[in-house]
Structure 1
Amino acid sequence: MQGVRRRRGAELASAIVGAAWEILIEGGYEQLTMDSVAVWARTSKPVLYRRWHSRAELLLTALIDRILPPKFPDEDHGDLRVDLIALRGSLADRFAGFPRRWPIDFTRQW
C-alpha cells in the first residue's frame, strides 16, 4: 500500500486558506471553525494553530489572499487595447469566486 504524500509549506498553507475561504462562502463566519477547516483541508488542528492563533487570523489571511490585487499580465502585446483586455481577464479570474452577497456581517460587533 502506498502512503499519502504529506503536504508542507506553501502547498499546505494554500490548502488551509482555500478551505477556510470555501467554508466562509458556504456557511459564513459562524461555520468557520478550526475544526471545520482542519477537516476540509485534511490536516490537524495543531497544524492550523502553528500558523494562526485564532480563526480571526485565519479569516484575515483568507481575505487578504482573495482581495489583494491580482498578478498583472507582464507580457506586452504592443497594443494597449489587447493589454487592457488581458488585464480584464486577469481581474475577472481573480474575482470569479467572490459571492454576490458577503457572508459576514461587518456591522456586527464580535
Structure 2
Amino acid sequence: MKQAIVARVDIGMGTGKLAAQVAHASLSAYEDTGERARREWKGGGQKKVVLKGDGESQLFELADVADREGLPYAVVRDAGHTQLDPGTVTALAVGPGPDNVVDKVTGDLSLL
C-alpha cells in the first residue's frame, strides 16, 4: 500500500508552502479511504512518494484516472492567504491503495 502526492512545480511555491500543500493532500485523501485500507496502510508504515506535477490540467487528468481505478484521491486548492491566488490548484494525492494500482495512475511521473 502506498500514497502518491503530485505537487505542481510550475507555480513557484516556496519549500514550506509546498510541504503544507503536500500534507493537506495526503490527509484529505486518507480521510476518504475505507477503514480496512487505512489500517493496512498505517500498519505498513504509511508509504508515500512525492512527485512532480506540470500543471493544473495534469492533476485533474490524474484524478480522473484515480477515480476510474477506484482509488481515493484529493485535489488541493490554496486558500490564497500567502503566496498564491485563492483557488490555485497545488497538489493531488492518490491513494492510499495497492502499489500497482497507484502506479497505474502516477508511475510515469518523476520524484520531486
Higher relative contact order (CA 8 A, sep 6+): 2
- The interval holding the TM-score normalised by the smaller chain is under 0.3
Q: Report the TM-score when normalising by structure 1.
A: 0.25
Q: Report the TM-score when normalising by structure 2.
A: 0.25
Structure with the larger helix share: 1
Structure with the larger strand share: 2
